[in-house]
Amino acid sequence: MAAIRVPRGWEFPEREATPEHVYWNRRRFLTTLGTAAIGASGFFRHAAAADSPFPAKRNPKYQLDRPITAEGPVTHYNNFYEFTEKKEVWKLVDRFKTEPWTIKISGRVEKPQTLDLDKLRHWIPLEERLYRHRCVEAWAMAVPWTGIPLKALIELAEPKADARYVRLVSFFRPNQAPNQKEPQWTETEQGSRKWYPWPYYEALTMAEAMNELTFVATGIYGHELPKQNGAPLRLVVPWKYGFKSIKSIVRIELTSKKPGTFWNDFAPLGNDWFANVNPAIPHPEWSQATEKLIDTGEVRPTVLYNGYGSFVAHLYEKG
């Protein structure tokens, strides 16, 4: 269902000419206007679809150590290379069709599934969680996601005993995602020129995938995910660098062998397979000791596992 379009404060054209820090500071003044606009579009959507799962109840277990990042920056400063290698993904997503959407769960499972996302949202109750989000590029934000634990999806398919990894795959639609069109070549950090191995793919160990933190989001800030944030369904693994949190998932495959991952295969230096946030391991081109909040510009020390050690450190301790 299409949302009713309400112009938002941050879409005013003068932003093009505004230096970034001034723009984001001014954006904070506009929050009131933005919230009112979202509230209105939300109201009409819900009136038309009485069974809307939004907004979902917040799960109080997951607490932040910083304010929630303003919505404008979170939805207008994105990494989504299928569309562009620049941050302004939101300008290029119009042709991307996220409805209808099905997700296949296959591989080492008793009951392979083809799930219709629209139905799924109503079968499994959604919850909201506040998570820190840290990109390998050393910027960070704090986001209210709406979704379900990945575990709930995996359990629908009944994993076999030899399932050891979970591989997740994004869409391949060159006609809808301009940066998937060939021929376009890019320079890797290692100096060789090669084309991205679309579609984007990621993987977790089974224990990581079943961890309570591992989340799949269909929403953000109390409404559906915008396309630039990975609609209609994206992974959220908050103790890992953002590239693990694969967007717009079409396939989930349980495997017994370790699958490759997009960034680790393409440019392994700085893009570790596990990619756990770690201030002590620098990227080859920059330190990971600190991170910069995208809305305020505040610089904070990076925390091991992005501060989620109490949930996940046991996964990596040698026994």
Ligand X SMILES: Nc1nc2c(c(=O)[nH]1)N[C@H]1C(S)=C(S)[C@@H](COP(=O)(O)O)O[C@H]1N2
User: Residues for the chain: how many in total?
Assistant: 319
DSSP-based three-state secondary structure for 20: helix
Could you tell me which of 198, 119, 110, 117 has the C-alpha nearest to residue 159?
110
Which residues, numbered 170-209, are part of the site for ligand X (CB under 6 A)? 170, 200
> Which residue in the set 147, 242, 259, 270 belongs to the binding site for Mo ion (CB under 5 A)?
242
State the minimum distance, in angstroms, from the CB of residue 230 to ligand X.
6
State the minimum distance, in angstroms, from the CB of residue 285 to Mo ion.
14
> Which residue in the set 78, 79, 179, 276 belongs to the binding site for Mo ion (CB under 5 A)?
79
Q: What is the CA radius of gyration of the chain?
A: 19
- CA distance linking residue 308 with residue 130, whole number of Å: 12
Distances (CA, A) of 208 to 205, 236, 268: 5, 12, 21
Residue in the shown chain whose Cβ atom is closest to ligand X: 242
> Which residue in the set 246, 252, 254, 275 belongs to the binding site for ligand X (CB under 6 A)?
246
> Which residue in the set 96, 165, 200, 243 belongs to the binding site for Mo ion (CB under 5 A)?
243
CB atoms within 10 A of CB 319: 3
State the minimum distance, in angstroms, from the CB of residue 243 to Mo ion.
5
DSSP category for residue 91: G
Q: Using the rule CB under 6 A, is 69 a contact of ligand X?
A: no
Residue 81 site contact among Mo ion, ligand X, none (CB < 5 to 8 Å, cut-off depends on kind): ligand X
DSSP code string of 149-210: EHHHHHHHT-B-TT--EEEEEE---TTTSGGGSSS--EE-TTS-EE---SSPEEEEEHHHHH
Residue 179 site contact among Mo ion, ligand X, none (CB < 5 to 8 Å, cut-off depends on kind): none
Q: Using the rule CB under 5 A, is 237 a contact of Mo ion?
A: no
Of the candidate spans 30-38, 65-73, 87-95, 235-243, the one that interacts with Mo ion by CB under 5 A turns out to be 235-243
The residues of the shown chain that bind Mo ion, judged by CB under 5 A, are: 79, 135-136, 242-243
